[in-house]
Amino acid sequence: MDDKYKLIALDLDGTLTNDQKEISKDTLKYIIGIQQAGLKIALASGRPTHGVSHIARQLKLDEFGGYMLSYNGGKIIRCSDGKILANHCLDLDLIPVLYQYAKDAGQSILTYTFDAVITEDADHELVKHESFLNGNMPIRKVTDFVEAVVKPPHKVAIIGEKEPLDKIFAELVQILGQRINIYRSAETYLEIVPAQIDKGKALSFLLSELNMTPKQLIAVGDSYNDLSMIQLAGLGVAMGNATEAVKQCAHYITKSNNEDGVAHLIQKVFFHAEDKKTIDLEYFNSLMQNTLMSTLGIKCTHLSEGRVEATMPVDIRTRQPMGILHGGATLAFAETLAGYGSVFLCDENEIQVGMQVSGNHISSAHEGDVVRGVATIVHKGRSSHVWNVDVLTGTDKIISSIRVVNSIIKRR
């Protein structure tokens, strides 16, 4: 097992749990397994502690010494003995202000006690959903929200419609930006926590407590409130269902929460199940939707260490007016294959960028043909990869021979 990483931080909704808010048997098995091997788990969620606790028990974090980071990191609890390591709350004088903004916009507001959701709108569907997310946490209906909040809360949520919430978000940032942090965990949900509270800062504190460094951290998430911890981690991982902004910041994109993405990640990193020998090509090709590759009809058919094969049709997307394969499409095809190959060879903290493409067009392919590309690595260095790509017709007649140079750089 890989001993490079010591702590794994997992978001819950959209990450650890599937759309039915359940942890799959495979995911549970692998998380228990890595804890038995000595790794620590930190559940990092916007949920209140009540909504994280039953998940922590299911994962046996008390037995293995894991941690709960609830309220987006506002409260940190060591599960082995229940000790609170950090505890941050909103100032009480903020509650009337937040309440008034919600009511003026016709939206609902809620907060939490240790064991209940507090709101004036107990029948609101989003309030009921919040209760469900948190293990059917009881809802306590109050007649006066401001008077009912007698202790500084860890988090307040304003829920409702997208456009009013957009306006509230912008105005609260402007007038209270020095005192609060606001997260958009969903279009219908604003999370408001104390200033300087986010998952990344909470994990930085926990790493210091554990005498670990960010390089020893894996952080996995799917939404905007996960960005800070993904950017902090030595290995930041986005779920396949993550927002595009999260995917852009991640070192690695695993499968979706409905495809056991966390289990897939653990297999890859700790048990080397793929060991860079095989890859799910159907899944790999599905990641290329809405890109140049899907526009040109490029389909990867083989991907292994040092060798890539793919096909591309000669049709209206790739031909010249004369009905033969366009040379530019051929070069794009070749650069794509070399890019796939370099990505496959890169470590988690590396990315590849194209640096040079040069080719010789020897023959032609006609509309209706499907050309095949074969890329083989010529040089694999620490800072560059050089690939030779041959493009052939369906009858294996060579069309073009192309050299591609990729630069390999470390992620910042």
H/E stretch holding 127 reads helix 125-133
**Nearest CA to 226 among 45, 81, 410?**
45
What is the C-alpha to C-alpha distance for residues 254 and 16, in angstroms, rounded to an integer?
12
Is residue 191 annotated as a catalytic residue, yes or no? Answer: no
Using DSSP's 3-state secondary structure scheme, residue 363 falls into coil
- Provide the 3-class DSSP secondary structure of residue 79: coil
- Close Cβ partners of 347 (under 8 Å, ≥ 6 residues apart): none
Catalytic member of 147, 335, 348, 350: 335
286: left (phi over 0), alpha (psi -120 to 50) or beta: alpha
Q: Which of 316, 313, 346 is nearest to 330 (CA)?
A: 313
CA-atom Rg of the chain in angstroms = 25
* Unique residue bearing structure tokens 């039953």: 54
Closest CA to 102 of 189, 198, 178, 185: 189
Catalytic residues: 335
